[in-house]
Amino acid sequence: MLKPRSVAIIGASRNPEKVGHVIFKNYVNAGYPGRLYLVNKSGEEIEGTQTYKSILDIKEGIDLAVIAIPAEYVPAAMEECGRAKVKTVVVVSGGFAEVGRQDLQDKMVGIAEKYHMPTLGPNCLGVMDPRSRVDTLFLPTYKLSRPSIGGVSFVAQSGAVGSTVLDMISSEGFGLSKFISYGNAAHIDEVDVLEYLLDDKETKVIILYIEGAKRGKELVKIARRISLVKPVIVLKGGKTFEGQQAAHSHTAALAGSYEAYLALFRQFGFTIANDLSELLHYAKIFSSEQQPSGPRIAIVTNGGGAGVLTADAISSSSFLKLGKFSTATEKTLRKSMPVLVNIRNPLDLAGDADYLRYKEALGAICGDGNIDMVVAIALFQTPGADSKLAAELIRIKGDSKKPMVVLSTGSDYTRMHKIMMESSGLPVYDSPAAASAALEALYRYSEYKKAKKQGKDPH
C-alpha cells in the first residue's frame, strides 16, 4: 500500500471538483514513478490519459487500488479488485458505518477478508509517503502543502486532524515518513498500523491522534513493544465528558476513560501531547535523534529577558534542572567572554553577541561534564545575530554529543534561520515552554528506555 509499483484510481474523473480527479492530479504532480491506471465506468479519456471501464480490464498486476466512488458501488468495485488480484485497497469514500450504513461496511470487510486484501478506510484520507510518492489524499496541494521527506510517521483516526497536522508539518524543517489516516478502521486499524510502523526502517518517530480503540488488548501488546524501539507521541481526543460525547458522535468510537488511556500510554513510555502543536514540538525533538545523558540544562542567550523566562520554564519542570558550570568551564568562560558577561547559568552573552562569542561559550559548555543538554537562545532581531550564527549553531550541534535545541522567536528573518537550522536536524522552538517541554520529553523517554533495558520498571 505504501510502496506500490502500480496504482489504480477507481472513480478517476474529468471533473476537477471530484475527489477522483484531485487524487489523479496529485499522483501526476508528485511525479509518481510507478504505473498509474485510471478506472472510470464511462471509459472517457482524462487529460490525455486512457481509462479502463473496470479494473478487470487492466492486464498488469495492481499493488494498490484507490476507491473514490459513492458508497453503494464500493462493494461491487471491491469484488472486482479481488478477482483482479489487487494486493491492497484504500477506500476514501464516506457513507458507511459513520452514517448508519453498517451493512455496506460489513459487506466491504467480507470481500476484503475473502480475497485477503488489506483494506484501509472507508471514510479516510488514506496514505501518503513522500519517498514512494504515494498520495491518496483528495486535497489539492495549494490547500494542503505536502511535507518533505523525513523520519516522522503520523497516524490519525480523524481525516480533518490528519490533514491539518500534515499541513502544519509542511512548515516545519523536519519531514514525513508515512501518513496513514484509517477512518472507520473497518479492516485495517491502529493496531495493524502500529505493527507495520514498528518494523519500518524509514520511521524514526511515530505520532498518533486517537479518539478510541476497539481492540484494547492488542493495543496494549503493541504499545508495550513499540516504545522500546522508537518514540511514540500520542494525542487523545475525548479528554473531558463533553469531548467524549463529541468523539462518539464523530467516529462512533467508544472514547473510554481518558485517564485509563493516559495511564496505559504513560506506562509504555509514550509521550502525551495535550494539543496539536505539542504533537509537533515533540515530533521535532525526537526526529533529531539526540540522546541526553541527564537532566541538567545550560542556557546561553543573547537576550537577558529570554534567559530569565527560559530559566523559569526549565525550573518549573519536575524532571529538568539548571546545571552548574564546572570550575574549569567558569575559568574558560571568564577568559574568553567580555568582562561584562556574568559567568553563570543562564549565560547572558549580551545583545551584541556574534557567532564567535557563541562559539567560545558553547565550546566550553559542551565539554562540561556537569551539563547534559543545551538551550541556545538566538534572538535574530539583535545586531550580532545573523546567518553565520545559525551556521555555527548547526556546526556545534553536529560536533557535540549533548542534545541541543535553539529558541528563536520572530517573523520572516527568524523563520528563514529556523528552516535553515531545522533542515540540518537542529530543533528550533519559539517559546521557552515549548523548548522545556520538548527537552523533558526527550529526557523522560531516554530514562524509560534505560530502565527497561536494566529490567527495572520506571513506574
Site residues (CB under 8 A) for a second copy, limited to 96-125 = 99
> Which among 177, 162, 165 is positioned nearest to 120, based on CA atoms?
162
CB 141 to a second copy: min, Å: 10
Rounded least distance, CB 175 to a second copy, Å: 14
Site for a second copy in 437-456 (CB under 8 A): none
The site that binds a second copy (CB under 8 A) totals a number of residues, namely 81
CA distance 149 to 155: 16
Q: Provide the minimum distance between the beta carbon of 305 and a second copy in the complex, in angstroms, as a whole number.
A: 3
Residues numbered 251-310 forming contacts with a second copy, rule: CB under 8 A: 251, 274-277, 301-309
Per-residue x/- track, 343-382, a second copy (CB under 8 A)? -x-x-x--x---------------------------xxxx
Please name which of 303, 262, 306, 315 lies closest in space to residue 439, comparing C-alpha atoms.
315
Residue from the set 245, 257, 291, 387 that interacts with a second copy by CB under 8 A:
245
Closer residue to a second copy in complex, CB, 304/363: 304
Q: Pick from 46, 64, 104, 156 the residue near a second copy by CB under 8 A.
A: 156
Query: Least Å distance between CB 137 and a second copy?
Result: 9
Q: In what order do the strands lie in the sheet with 126-129?
A: 134-135, 126-129, 176-181, 149-156, 205-210, 232-236, 271-273
Task: Return the residue of 190, 211, 368, 440 that touches a second copy, per CB under 8 A.
Answer: 211
Shortest spacing between CB 4 and a second copy, in angstroms: 24
Q: Which amino acid is it at 433? A: A
Q: What's the length of the chain?
A: 459
Q: Which is nearer to a second copy, 86 or 156 (CB)?
A: 156
Q: How far is CA 11 from CA 41, 46, 74, in A?
A: 8, 11, 10
Among 44-52, 164-172, 189-197, 387-395, which window interacts with a second copy (CB under 8 A)?
Answer: 164-172
Report 124-153 residues binding a second copy (CB under 8 A).
Answer: 138-139, 142-145
Residue 286: CB minimum distance to a second copy, A:
20
Q: Is the dihedral of CA 301, 303, 308, 310 positive or negative?
A: negative
The residues near 196 (Cβ < 8 Å, ≥ 6 apart) are: none
Burial of 199 (0-12, 13-18, 19+ CB in 10 A): exposed
Give the shortest CB-302-to-a second copy separation in angstroms: 7
Q: Which three cell numbers stand for residue 176?
A: 514525513
207 phi, psi to nearest 5 deg? -115, 140
Cβ proximity to a second copy: between 252 and 451 the closer is 252
Find, among 198, 265, 200, the residue nearest to 235 by Cα.
265
Q: Is position 312 an interface residue for a second copy (rule: CB under 8 A)? A: yes
